[in-house]
Chains A and B, each alone.
Chain A
Amino acid sequence: MRLLLRKITWLFAVLGGLVALAVGVMTVASVSLRFFTTQPIQGDVEMVQMGVAVAISLCIAWCQLRGANIIVDFFTQNASARTTRWLDGLGCVLIAVMYGLLAWRTTIGAFAVHEVNETTMTLELPMWWAYASLAPGLMLAALVALVQAWLHFTGQDLQTLQGERQGEFA
């Protein structure tokens, strides 16, 4: 189960990276066209905005899974392992609330802008796409955080979910 969750989260993140790269390549094409022919790709800015937003949302769960969210550990350096575990579990619950709230409300937002037929400026793409595309990543992140909280509270090893420590830093 944990391995599956980890695999899905990894897949989301790599997909996010791919989308960001695709946005980058499209921008390069647009810049070149503008430079050589004065006419850029129509709606390039909108595609960057939507693409990057989706990309980031797909990466959030991975960031959560890897414990990459910044915490202040200065004041709890001498706390017992038990205390730390409970505090980290609480942290996971609170951030799961944040992910969950955003996922839920963004989905409602998608319905709201769909209802009034809002579109983007140039390509006239339905605006609800931008809203709806953010929800899956946020929901997965909430799930990951809740699983982590459960592991913390039950005193289990997080390593099986998180994977081995990597040599590289971001």
Chain B
Amino acid sequence: MSPMTIGLVMFAGMLALMVLRIPIAAAMFIPGALGYLAMSNEVALFNMLKGSAVARLTLYDLSVIPLFLLMGQFATQGGLSRALFRAAAAFVGHVRGGLAMAAVLSAGAFGAVCGSSVATSATITQVAYPEMRRYGYQGRLSTAALASGGTLGILIPPSVPLVVYAILTEQSVGKLFAAAMLPGVLAMLGYLVVIALYCMVRPELAPPHAPVPWAARWKALFGVWPILSIFLVVFGGIYGGIFSPTEGAAVGATLTLFAGLASRELNLKAICNSFIASAETSAMVFLIFLGADMMNASLSLTQLPAQLADWVTHLGIAPLWIVVSVLVFYVILGCVMDEMSMLLLTIPVIFPAIMGLDLWGLAPEMKAIWFGILVLMTVGIGLIAPPVGLNVYVVNNLAGDTSMGETYKGVFPFLAWDVLRVIVLLLFPTLTLGLVDLFFQ
């Protein structure tokens, strides 16, 4: 068999295993290992495997993932999310759709200390959903706002998929976080507008209620200072050059632990729960990495990625349309596949091709960052788009009283804004790159 054929067979084998419910890590690892055997021999494969676990697990930049996950878990178990939602609800709860807006706002704020969208959705759903139901909000709006708001967990830094992208493309995590800032806030503001418009068209979705007195508002606002100051210290430190993203994650996790201990919500049991919850997610992410490493080592032997990159750059299609097709491809793939695995599998293949294109005359680093944010946005879409939106699953599961179909109906206006936002970011790279220029001269 030619290397090209081996590469394609490997890829097909992987897809087949995925369809058959095999864990994605193994679905990449096993065909990858067999492909490596076919390309070389068992001595090379076994010797290569001697170092692969150490190589992946000791990678310094990846240590931000467990640390940021730990920080998010301490914030969850430490009750910081409740204070956030209370404060947001105190200020905007009384306008039409206000509690849904409060859910989005608190998801955005929580996303500023939590790097995972599933964790953000779950956390905010637990504090916000009962309140929304109490005030007679319909399940369709409530669950849709929570599922969409949950994507702010990754759209606003810190963000696990963005770290994964940074590692795969050898870009600076700090710069990518800076680039995500404005688009993330834009996403949040857009969701608020979507809720307002939605409630204008369908007022029965969200009955209004009396405003909270100002004294109570200030009191509720006071409750968010821990999370606010943690965010400021972590990101102030990262962009002020006091520490690296990994160090920032360590500082954040430690501070959040102390904040949780101080609020007396974080007892020994809650700390253990934080540990094992972060354990599940961290291990899951690293396992997919290990699977993808095996797959990519074999693919690089077959030289398939290099050939694809070469082919794409000589297609003669306008570069911007190639980016658009890649993004559309991601949205479609994201419909049936987990987004993280999608990145790990495709970025090593697609990224070199993108870097070969001339896009708005951007310098290579800026191009990589800009493309990364666009990819992140499509990951966000994949998390709420039917038929398989992970966030929708999580929120629906926790809500327990709304059908999946209802939620997907409710999600559509939010999706429309997501698509619109991708187009805007595609046409105006400054929105993404402005803050990078500002923070990194």
Contacts and interface: CB of A to CB of B under 8 A. Distances in A.
13 contacts: A14-B272, A23-B63, A24-B250, A59-B283, A68-B284, A69-B24, A71-B18, A71-B24, A72-B337, A87-B20, A87-B22, A98-B290, A169-B122
A164 to B, nearest CB: 13
A49 B60 contact: yes
Contact of A134 (B57, B246, B273, B291): B57
Given A70-B24, A94-B22, A16 B279 contact: yes
B19 interface: yes
Given A27-B251, A95-B26, A21 B257 contact: yes
B25 interface: yes
A97 B275 CA distance: 27
Contact of B250 (A23, A64, A168): A23
A45 B387 CA distance: 43
Interface of A: 10, 13-14, 16-18, 20-21, 23-25, 27-28, 30-31, 35, 45, 48-50, 52-53, 55-60, 62-64, 66, 68-76, 84, 87-88, 90-91, 94-95, 97-98, 101-102, 105-106, 108-109, 112, 130-131, 134, 138, 167-170
Given A69-B24, A98-B26, A169-B277, 12 more contacts: A13-B275, A24-B70, A52-B58, A52-B63, A59-B279, A70-B340, A71-B18, A90-B22, A94-B23, A97-B26, A105-B46, A167-B398
Given A14-B272, A56-B282, A71-B21, A24 B58 contact: no
Contact of A59 (B67, B119, B282, B338): B282
**A contacts with B: majority SS:** helix
B341 A70 contact: yes
Nearest to A105: B49
A133 to B, nearest CB: 10
Rank and list the top 3 A-B pairs by shortest CB-CB distance, nearest first: A17-B275, A109-B50, A63-B283
B408 to A, nearest CB: 14
A49 B324 CA distance: 38
A70 B338 CA distance: 7
Given A25-B254, A52-B57, A69-B287, A75 B19 contact: yes
Given A56-B57, A70-B23, A74-B388, A24 B67 contact: yes
A27 B280 CA distance: 23
B336 interface: yes
Contacts of A88: 21
Nearest to B51: A109
A31 B242 contact: yes
Contacts of B388: 74
B47 to A, nearest CB: 8
Interface in B256-313: 257, 272-284, 286-288, 290-291
A63 B279 contact: yes
Given A63-B283, A168-B273, A90 B20 contact: yes
A70 B390 CA distance: 11
A137 to B, nearest CB: 9
A72 to B, nearest CB: 5
